[in-house]
Structure 1
Amino acid sequence: MFDSRHIKTFHEVVQAGSYSAAARSLGYTQPAVTQQMKALERSVGTPLFTRVGRRMRLTEAGEALARHADAILDTLSAAQQQMSAITRLRAGRVRVCAFPSANATLIPETMARLSADHPGVRAELLEGEPPESLQRLIRGECDITLAFTYPGLHESVPEELAEIPLLEDQLTVLLPAGHPLARRRAVKLADLAEERWIAGCLRCRANFLHECAEQGFAPDIVFTTDDNLVVQSLVAEGLGVAMVPALVLSFLRHDKVTGRALDPASRRQVSAYVLRDHLRIPATALVLDELKAVAGRRVGC
């Protein structure tokens, strides 16, 4: 393994023609240059210079290394510049995996802010529901995961992950616009016990069943989909009602559908997750800060 300092000194010796001239150019003492060249020769396992009278000449190995020295130093310089750009947030890549309603609400504004303020930082977007999205983070398939938890399910977070709370997302009921309960400001879940239901992803469905059981009934689930637009279309046609997070209400596309809060209120916690060691990566920390800012404004709305 070469020491980059030795390669730089070797390159200067070749250019200057002697140890003493290289020492003057680099601001070293001649013995320091001599010691570095001896260390480099031990590393390659063969002499790099030979003396012919008072002149130094490269050996065959020295000539081979000299041909590569420029490229090695150029590569090191490019690497240093890239590391500096990443550290100073002029460059970098962050892969974000989020669930659908976050991708439709929190993510677009976050990405827009990032693009405007730090155009060199590239954000890539993936989609996934918890708990699989958390496993993708652990496997290294993404750098940040947005996921949600429900208080009644007592879900644990893997030890290697840091959790950054973003907002509490109130649960609501989607009803056809002409539904008798649509006239109320809030709806009791038990009042919908006889309805047909549309259920969502596995985690949402588990919480939905838990909350229904708490209210003393088992829901009649006739459709299951994690596509929020499909849920809206099914509700619009009167094929069922659905319990959805308030984030979904911000992109309702059907005038035949209305959302009503639950009484008593029920919420899920939306958080960002990252490997603990990655909290120190500048681009990752930047995206987390942008997510917190965007989520904070949404809470205040």
Structure 2
Amino acid sequence: MFDSRHIKTFHAVVAAGSYSAAARVLGYTQPAITQQMKALERAVGTPLFTRVGRRMRLTEAGEALARHAETILDTLTVAQQQMSSLTRLRSGRVRMCAFPSAGATLVPEALARLAADHPGVRVELLEGEPPESLRRLERGEFDIALAFTYPGLHDEVPDELVEIPLLEDQLTVLMPAGHPLARRRAVVLADLAEERWIAGCLRCRTNFLHECTQVGFAPDIAFTTDDILVVQSLVAEGLGVAMMPGLVLSFLRHDRIVGRPLDPASRRQVSAYVLRDHLRVPATALVLDELKAAARRRAGCC
């Protein structure tokens, strides 16, 4: 294995024509140059220079190495520049997976700040629901996963993953604006026992059924869909009510529906997950910081 310092010195010797001239160019002593060239020749396994009188000539091996030395040094320079850009956050790529309501709220807020302060750091967005998103994160398919858990429905997080809590998201009930309970500030789940329901993703649906059971009724689920905009449209047309996370309220698109929090309050935990070793990657750590800041801003305005 060649030492890059020795290659740099060898290139200087070839360009300057002698050890003493290379020493002056590099600011070394001549014995230091001699020692480095001896070390390089030991690594190569053959002499690189011969002396003809007072002049030095390259051996065949020396000529071969000289043809590659500049390319090697140029490649190292480019590599050093790229490493510097990554560590100083002038560049970098982070793959992030988010569930839809976080992808429509926390993620854009975080990425807007990131783009303003570190435009060279790019984030590749993917969409996925837990627990599958956590399994994909563990397999290395992306660097950060945003996921949520409900009380009593926690997943066992693999040891390789670190959970970073972001915020508690209060559950709400979406209903037509003309619904009798829409005038209340908060609604009691049991008061909606006779309603038809639109249920969301599997994990949300599981929690919804659990909460209904806790207050003593089995809900009449008329429709199920993972698409939040479809849920809103169904509610707007009076086809049912829906239990949705509070994050959804910030992008309601129908003026014919309203969202009311549950009383007593029911919440889910929203967290970022990352492979433990990736916490040391500068770009990944930066994106996590921006997500935490976005979550703090959102918690402060609620």
TM-score scaled by structure 2? 0.94
Tell me the number of residue pairs that the alignment of Structure 1 and Structure 2 aligns.
301
Displacement after TM superposition at 1:178 (Å): 2.1
Alignment of 1:208-247 (within 5 A): 208-247=208-247
RMSD value over aligned CA atoms? Answer: 1.6
Residue in structure 2 matched with residue 133 of structure 1 by the alignment? 133
In the alignment, the residues of structure 1 paired with residue 37 and residue 209 of structure 2 have an alpha-carbon distance, to the nearest angstrom, of: 73
In the alignment, the residues of structure 2 paired with residue 148 and residue 174 of structure 1 have an alpha-carbon distance, to the nearest angstrom, of: 20
Residue in structure 2 matched with residue 146 of structure 1 by the alignment? 146
In the alignment, the residues of structure 2 paired with residue 6 and residue 193 of structure 1 have an alpha-carbon distance, to the nearest angstrom, of: 79
Displacement after TM superposition at 1:176 (Å): 1.7
Displacement after TM superposition at 1:275 (Å): 1.5
Displacement after TM superposition at 1:8 (Å): 0.7
Residue in structure 2 matched with residue 53 of structure 1 by the alignment? 53
Residue in structure 2 matched with residue 80 of structure 1 by the alignment? 80
In the alignment, the residues of structure 1 paired with residue 118 and residue 155 of structure 2 have an alpha-carbon distance, to the nearest angstrom, of: 35
In the alignment, the residues of structure 2 paired with residue 125 and residue 16 of structure 1 have an alpha-carbon distance, to the nearest angstrom, of: 52
Displacement after TM superposition at 1:10 (Å): 1.0
Alignment of 1:111-260 (within 5 A): 111-260=111-260
Displacement after TM superposition at 1:100 (Å): 0.6
Ranges in structure 1 where 5+ consecutive residues have no aligned partner: none
Displacement after TM superposition at 1:128 (Å): 1.1
Stretch moving more, 188-197 or 269-278: 188-197
Deviations 1:59-92 (CA, angstroms, capped at 9, x unpaired): 2222121111111111111111121122112111
Residue in structure 2 matched with residue 281 of structure 1 by the alignment? 281
Stretch moving more, 55-64 or 262-271: 55-64
Stretch moving more, 30-39 or 122-131: 30-39
Q: Does 1:109 align with 2:118?
A: no
The answer as to whether partners of 2:131 and 2:155 remain within 8 angstroms in 1 is: no
Task: Report sequence identity in percent.
Answer: 85
In the alignment, the residues of structure 1 paired with residue 281 and residue 154 of structure 2 have an alpha-carbon distance, to the nearest angstrom, of: 30
Residue in structure 2 matched with residue 89 of structure 1 by the alignment? 89
Deviations 1:156-206 (CA, angstroms, capped at 9, x unpaired): 322111211111100001112222222222112122222222221222122
Name the SS of the counterpart of 1:151 in structure 2: coil
Stretch moving more, 250-259 or 157-166: 157-166
Displacement after TM superposition at 1:38 (Å): 2.5
The answer as to whether partners of 2:176 and 2:241 remain within 8 angstroms in 1 is: yes
Residue in structure 2 matched with residue 293 of structure 1 by the alignment? 293
Displacement after TM superposition at 1:23 (Å): 2.4
In the alignment, the residues of structure 2 paired with residue 219 and residue 150 of structure 1 have an alpha-carbon distance, to the nearest angstrom, of: 19
Residue in structure 1 matched with residue 17 of structure 2 by the alignment? 17
Ranges in structure 2 where 5+ consecutive residues have no aligned partner: none
| Consecutive aligned runs of 4 or more in structure 1 exceeding 3 Å deviation | none
Amino acid at match of 2:119: P
In the alignment, the residues of structure 1 paired with residue 232 and residue 274 of structure 2 have an alpha-carbon distance, to the nearest angstrom, of: 32
Name the SS of the counterpart of 2:152 in structure 1: helix
In the alignment, the residues of structure 2 paired with residue 297 and residue 133 of structure 1 have an alpha-carbon distance, to the nearest angstrom, of: 25
Name the SS of the counterpart of 1:222 in structure 2: strand
In the alignment, the residues of structure 2 paired with residue 55 and residue 215 of structure 1 have an alpha-carbon distance, to the nearest angstrom, of: 96
Amino acid at match of 1:221: I
In the alignment, the residues of structure 2 paired with residue 127 and residue 27 of structure 1 have an alpha-carbon distance, to the nearest angstrom, of: 56
Amino acid at match of 1:279: L
Displacement after TM superposition at 1:20 (Å): 2.5
TM-score scaled by structure 1? 0.95
Amino acid at match of 1:192: L
In the alignment, the residues of structure 2 paired with residue 151 and residue 41 of structure 1 have an alpha-carbon distance, to the nearest angstrom, of: 67
In the alignment, the residues of structure 1 paired with residue 213 and residue 41 of structure 2 have an alpha-carbon distance, to the nearest angstrom, of: 76
Displacement after TM superposition at 1:232 (Å): 0.4
Amino acid at match of 1:4: S
